[in-house]
Amino acid sequence: MVRIKNRVLGDPVGKIGNIVYRTLNGKTFASIRPDKYNASQSKAAKSNRRRFAVAVQFAKYINSIPELSKIWKQSAVKGASSFNKIVKYNIGQIDNGFLTTRNIITPDLKTKNGILDIKSISFDQSSISITASFLNKKRQSCADLTPTLYAVAVFQSPKSKNYDAVSITHLSKVTDLIFNGEVLNIEMSLSADQKLIAKKYKTCIMYFALIIGTQLYTNNIFTTFSSELLNL
């Protein structure tokens, strides 16, 4: 990589021919990109590419939900952005190109301040019924805050090769006010599009998180993730 000092025509950005220009910390650099790049076709290389692609797909989706993105951004997980943090934490939990129940939608480190205990779940491809309780570890007052349950559904093992290997969607529902240890019964209905997705797959992992006070300008109370693998 070569640093460009004399920038008579300004700072070049992007690719010109096979030369790529980048600006890092106010300095412009140029590097030559090969005309062709032969990706390794070894089993290990293919597996790594697949794992990275799935981690990026998952992170993009989680980061597209403003409430979850905000929590990752404010977390103590190392990373330049909420997207980077989600990728970094989740990529190591992907097994053989598939997301697992070890993947997470909220940080599971020092930032955790509540526990969501999923006691039972049923899914009939049209609705999800959940029985759960919540433990507020910091014992913050929830009386004037609105709890919202988020359920991220990751569909895998497609029934046809024509379907995407992984499809991700989510549901959310405002719940009643919560008291420590209170058991909640919540039903979430799938949209027409979500029902069509569910019919295309053999398995689904449901990731749950409860966020209390979903306004983007507040310091939310949120739970560590809870997940469940379902055979459809």
Spatial strand order in the sheet of 2-4: 2-4, 27-32, 19-24, 14-16
Residue 2 has a pLDDT of 46
Q: Are 97 and 51 in contact (CB under 8 A)?
A: yes
pTM of the predicted model as reported, rounded to 2 decimal places: 0.74
pLDDT tens figures, 155-169: 999 999 999 999 999
Helices (H), 106-159: none
pLDDT tens figures, 60-103: 999 999 989 988 888 877 888 999 999 998 999 999 889 999 99
Q: Which helix (H) or strand (E) holds 56?
A: helix 43-63
